[in-house]
Amino acid sequence: MALIQVLSTTRVGQLTGSTDLGAQHPKWPLLVDAQHFPLLNDTGHWGAQGADLGANTEHSDGRLYIFFGDTTKTQNSPNKQNTDLVAWTDETNVLEHGGHLALGLNFTLPFEPTSVPGQPDWRFCGKCSTLFWDGDAHFKGVCSKGRGHTAIGLRFVLPFEPTSVSGQPEWRFCGKCAGLFWNGEANKGACPTGGMHEAIGFRFVIPFGTTAIAGQPNWRFCGNCRGLFWDGDANKGLCTGAPGGGFHLHGVLNNTGIFDPFSADPPIGQTLSLEVPNGAFSYAGKVYVFAGIGDPKYTNEPPRFGDPAVGAYLVSKARPDLPGPYRKEFLYSPRIGWCPTDERRNVLESHQPLGFKFIVSHSIPVSSTQQGDWRFCAKCATMFWDGDATDKGICSRGGSHKAVGFSYVLTHSVGEDSQNQANWHRCRKCAALFWNGNPQQRGLCPGGDTHEPTGVNLVMPHSSLNEDPHRQLNWRFCRKCGGLFWDGDGSFKGTCSTDGRGHEAIGFNFALAHDVNEDGQNQQHWRFCKKCAGLFWNGDQTNKGICPSGNSHEAIGFNFVLPHDVGDNAQNQHNWRFCGKCSGLFWDGDSGFKGTCSKDSRGHEAIGFNFVLPHNPGEDVHNQGGWRFCTKCSGLVWTQQPDLFSWVAPCVIQTAAHPGLPESPHPLGLVMFGFGFSATPGIRLAWMPLKTPSSPQLQDILYFTGNETEPWSNEADGAALLLSRANTYTHLSAAWLEGPQRWILLYSNAVDDLSAPNKFQLPTVARFGTTLFDWSEEIEIFNPLREQAYGKYMHKIGRDRIHPDVPPQQDPTKPEHDGWSYGAFLLNRFTEWNEHTRELTIYYLLSLSSPYQVQLMHSRLLIPD
């Protein structure tokens, strides 16, 4: 592909933002961005002080809908922090100026009917928000948005000299633009016709403050054009004298005027931290949005009721301009097997897990109270019994189940307790394992009607202890050194004293209390060592023990409090002891194994209390987690499929116009570029037909495999890499550009990584494709160093006041860092193409982290033939 050149990149202006509304002495009193460009939109009127991202779509109502993420609320907003803001614009061109800049007095204008004497026919212009005289049917002045003013709303009457009305004098009619401006100084302001305003006619006196005049308040003087504009809502009009630009937004608000947080049917509810809408498209009169349920360990939010499946869901709404939830269509990614959507069984979707998280033993000898031959079905992702050589049951995808992987061993005929659920049975018809605890709800059986129980009563182990503000999970026993270590970081297993490598977890998953009071049976000062990941006692300030990584342990994080010398049971394990040599905690329950102490590589030496640690069942080489109950089929299903499409860039296209897509009798299709964190990270491709007028269906989605003989498959985990990319935080945006006949794909390479500060400076890039399968190299459309953004409109440590001043500032509890670019979302409504010069102009949203606001960017590119 011929080399594509970036001709220029500029920042147009900031689309979101507000002043520091709640502060007694605002740090940022004027409604301007970091470069002091007056904002077009004061989102603080809707309760939104700052936001990021901006997935968007054109809808059939002629509006461009934008889904802003993780909104920082104003102090007077009742919304939760990090809910998501929906807004729209009906403007079809990017405005080349900013909004009006309110300074000085708050004026009140009398309107008809009124007893105040003065000149009538003064009106509010619905395009630029200024006051203009509408008394001449043949002259409507000149508006900053072009052509004449457009009158809407009230009919105002302005007092003029001589008058008994008190107020500010020297307000005049401009004979060029028909607007009202203040003529009290040499600067006559910027007139939309060019140059400065020219005063003719009456000398008006405009009431302000606590005047007894009845009228409409919130009329303000603009510091740039010297005109009078209405400052009573989020729209700040358009000022010829203001730098900046962009477009006006209209928030989707509730009946109190506060933004209605993005939400969807259960189990999604309101989307919160890092659960942002990340892709959107419009089809058959509805807007469809990909939005997620995030993993609590990343979102810092508690799990939703029942702990539903984490991932990207597709939701829809016919009237996105109105408040209220979106309709849940289906879980898009990860693909959790296949399950009938309802009793008709004609549509298959992912399973719908809820409730307990089960841990199932495998590859072990079978005792008299256990049953073997339970297998995973590779087709539907349920567990089924494979003990009959001639009967493999019935799969929801047709035919028999297909066994792969481990041979599971399930316990039966024992009592139920807080970590073991009974009433699991084999279904006589389909051979799947299902929960029979509710005879009125036995789930959808592939063999017809509901499941029918047979055989023994099986008991499934599951977790019962959850993390909370004073309890941390994922503390595990290391099979090599016998110590307790934290296994909550998938990439860091600490340092084991046995071999200097990472710890290896087996057995229970312990839950340790922290930052609670110490008493006679609970000892504090147990800490996590940041070097070896072990737990050690930090109560002796002169002896920090001996760390396998060298020297003493180094404590960070919580202050753990361990119970000791109390009774043990099935959910609480005793014989955990303090080692007098290395100060670590180790298990002393095996007389023949004392682990490996880091002091002398011999066994640990127990002294002091006998600690008793609460626990869940744990995952290890013979115990597999990820098994859940499905609320639709009542089966036991596996839920740890890879999430390859966490973030989605959807594009509605004419399928036949794009070679390589599957043949379809339906003219329209949806191309979906996806990015997800996985063992083989990168961007993948999916497609589905759009069958008017029915809603999209998960079972119709095909994934590009890269296989010449079978390039498309309905198995999500078979999706091949279209483009390699590292596992870093980014979002995707894509479009088919009719003018240059190119695909465009936008994403960012910058990384929020304090350990590697140079990664903050990495660029936002574009790739172009002549087809879906032939892509250019990365083209830097925004480079903060090349664009000289740092210290100007993007925070650089030590160079500016953006970090502490521009609301909302960076989190003061976290280390200060440079801004970084992410969330590059193309606004295809504003794309321009010049066939003669081969110049492509694109506008896109970009988040800079600091300031935490959404910027409108503009890039010009040269696209060779």
Confidence of residue 811 (pLDDT cuts 50, 70, 90): confident
The span from the CA of 780 to the CA of 788, in Å, is: 14
The pLDDT of residue 750 is 96
Best CA proximity match to 841, nearest among 3, 7, 221, 2:
7
Q: How much is the average pLDDT of 324-328?
A: 98
Query: CB 758: neighbour CB atoms within 10 A?
Result: 9
What's the CATH number of domain 1-96+285-335+641-865, 2.60.40, 3.90.380, 2.115.10, 3.10.260? 2.115.10
DSSP annotation of 325: P
Q: DSSP letter for 438, please.
A: -
Q: How far apart are the first and last CA of the chain?
A: 9
Using one digit for the tens of pLDDT, what is the confidence trace for 526-578?
999 999 999 999 999 889 999 999 999 999 999 999 999 999 999 999 999 99
Residue 755, pLDDT score: 87
* C-alpha closest to that of 315 among 331, 332, 327: 327
Residue ranges covered by each domain of the chain: 1-96+285-335+641-865, 102-230, 355-463+622-637, 471-616
* 3 state SS for 846-864: EECCCCCCEEEEEEEEECC
Q: Name residue 725's beta-bridge partners.
A: none
Q: What is the pLDDT of residue 817?
A: 93
Kindly state the tokens that stand for 587: 């298990």
**Residues 600-614: pLDDT tens digits?**
999 999 999 999 999
The Cα–Cα gap between 241 and 35 comes to: 15
pLDDT in tens, 707-760: 999 999 999 999 999 999 988 889 999 999 999 999 999 999 999 988 899 999
Residue 719 backbone zone (phi > 0: left; psi -120 to 50: alpha; other: beta): beta
Omega before 808 cis (within 30°)?
yes
Mean pLDDT calculated for residue range 619-637: 97
Q: What per-residue confidence (pLDDT) applies to 25?
A: 62
Residue 769 confidence (pLDDT) above 70: yes
Q: Tokens standing for 535?
A: 């737990």
Residue 252, CA distances (Å) to 84, 314, 323, 523 in order: 11, 20, 6, 52
From residue 162, how far is each of 202, 204, 206 by CA, in Å? 10, 9, 12
pLDDT at residue 814, as a whole number: 85
**Cα dihedral 297, 298, 303, 306 in deg (nearest 10):** -80
pLDDT score at 693: 79
Query: Contact 725/675 with Cβ under 8 angstroms?
Result: yes
Percent with pLDDT over 70 in the chain: 99
Structure confidence at residue 194 (pLDDT): 96
Task: Give the residue from 535, 539, 475, 537 showing the smallest Cα distance to 507.
Answer: 475
Per DSSP, the three-state class of 767 is strand
pTM: 0.94
**Residue found by looking up tokens 């595990």 in the block:** 476
Judged against a pLDDT cut of 70, whether residue 211 lies above it is answered with no
* Nearest alpha carbon to residue 40 among 850, 855, 822, 851: 855
The contacts of residue 396 (CB under 8 Å, 6+ apart) are 338, 339, 340, 345, 348, 380, 382, 446, 633
User: Residue 593 half-sphere exposure, CB side, CA atoms within 13 Å?
Assistant: 13
How much is the pLDDT for 22? 63
Using a 10 angstrom Cβ sphere, with 0-12 exposed, 13-18 middle and 19 or more buried, the burial of residue 773 is middle
For 469-527, write each residue's pLDDT tens digit: 999 999 999 999 999 999 998 889 999 999 999 999 999 999 999 999 999 999 999 99
Position 1 confidence tier, pLDDT thresholds 50, 70, 90? low
pLDDT at 24: 59
Query: How high is the mean pLDDT of the chain?
Result: 95
